[in-house]
Amino acid sequence: MTHSDPDPGPVVQRILLGADLRDAREAAGLSNAEASKALGWYTGKLSKVEQGDMKVSDKDLDKAARIYGIPKSRTAKLRNLATDSRRKLPPARVPEHSVKYVNLERAATELKIFNGSCFPGIVQTADYARAMLERSVTTSPADVDRMAEDRVHRMERMKTPGAPRLWLIVGEEALYREIGGRAVLRAQLEQIRELAKLPHVCVQIIPFDGGAHASHGVVFSIITLIEGRPGVVYVEGLTASDYLGREHTRVYNLAFENLRGSTLSQQRTTERISRRIKELT
């Protein structure tokens, strides 16, 4: 994805703008503290801007451009990006702390997802999603059906042209935890098996007998927005989530590659899923 691609949404545009400003600051040889002092910003504001967590006014952008020595032609493009990043979109049908993730997912060129115990929202059937959401302590019963439908829409997008590459690793437990009951789990596994046939999707399982791996107790996603640039790591809890920048991305990518070394091959994964489907019939 580049700045000239179809509209990725204001959340993603804030992240792109922040990354550009961070690159410009580093090219100017300024530390975070030095730049904050020169800009006259309070402690923490620059970090929020660079991480895409804060909107940037034209006045602040122009001041940063002067201090960082950004050429006028580049400043004009950044101003357009800043203007677009201040737009508002209709609220997403997800918990508030997950809104940013859904926008990132929509604009991603690649997704790497690890979940040790269940299948993540982006690949869930409506019944599987509903069964999970009904047990959530942070989801209102009135929102369950709409949120389940939204997860199905996200899954259907994975089947369309231009969908991001998806690398999904799950623990073998996901094949056995009967979320929603045996019939619901069987339908979920059938969907996973069909998705795994797509050329841009790779699904692999870490078997029970695989021993220790690099991410026990941690569920995470690595979202790549622009080829060749560090992505964003998303780690979700019950009531909050963390979006980790490039200093963390290397570690999580290393962990993901380590996880891949613990998985069954794609063929053996499909065979294991098919065997489990038969058991549930």
Domain with 187, as residue range(s), is 96-280
Whether 16 is covered by a domain: the verdict is yes
Let me know whether 108 and 178 are in one domain: yes
Whether 1 is covered by a domain: the verdict is no
How is residue 253 written in tokens?
A: 């990518």
pLDDT at 2 over 60: no
Task: Name 111's Cβ contacts closer than 8 Å, sequence gap at least 6.
Answer: 105, 122, 164, 165, 166, 167, 221, 222, 223, 224
Let me know whether 114 and 179 are in one domain: yes
Counting Cα atoms < 13 Å in the Cβ hemisphere of 223 gives 23
Last residue of a domain, one of 24, 59, 85: 85
Let me know whether 195 and 263 are in one domain: yes
Whether 33 is covered by a domain: the verdict is yes
pLDDT reported for residue 192: 98
Let me know whether 104 and 63 are in one domain: no
Let me know whether 124 and 33 are in one domain: no
Tally of structural domains, the chain:
2
pLDDT reported for residue 36: 93
- Kindly report, residue by residue over 150-168, the tens digit of the pLDDT: 999 999 999 998 899 999 9
- Kindly report, residue by residue over 240-279, the tens digit of the pLDDT: 778 887 678 889 999 999 999 999 999 999 999 999 999 9
Whether 225 is covered by a domain: the verdict is yes
Let me know whether 186 and 157 are in one domain: yes
Last residue of a domain, one of 36, 60, 85: 85
Find the CATH number of the domain harbouring 164. Answer: 3.30.870
Closest-CA residue to 238 (of 160, 145, 132, 144) = 132
- Kindly report, residue by residue over 33-45, the tens digit of the pLDDT: 999 999 999 879 9
Let me know whether 176 and 263 are in one domain: yes
Once rounded to an integer, what is the mean pLDDT over residues 98-114? 86
Last residue of a domain, one of 54, 85, 116: 85
Whether 91 is covered by a domain: the verdict is no
Whether 90 is covered by a domain: the verdict is no
Whether 128 is covered by a domain: the verdict is yes
Once rounded to an integer, what is the mean pLDDT over residues 127-149? 94
pLDDT at 93 over 60: no
pLDDT at 70 over 60: yes
- pLDDT more than 70, % of the chain: 93
Let me know whether 115 and 69 are in one domain: no
Let me know whether 75 and 105 are in one domain: no
Question: To the nearest whole number, what is the mean pLDDT of the chain?
Answer: 89
Tell me whether strands 201-206 and 165-171 are parallel, antiparallel or unpaired: parallel
Helix (H) or strand (E) holding 203: strand 201-206
Beta strand ranges found along 124-181 (DSSP E): 165-171
Lowest-confidence segment of 3-7, 159-163, 173-177 by average pLDDT: 3-7
The winner for highest mean pLDDT among 103-107, 136-140, 227-231, 237-241 is: 136-140
Lowest-confidence segment of 91-95, 162-166, 196-200 by average pLDDT: 91-95
Whether 126 is covered by a domain: the verdict is yes
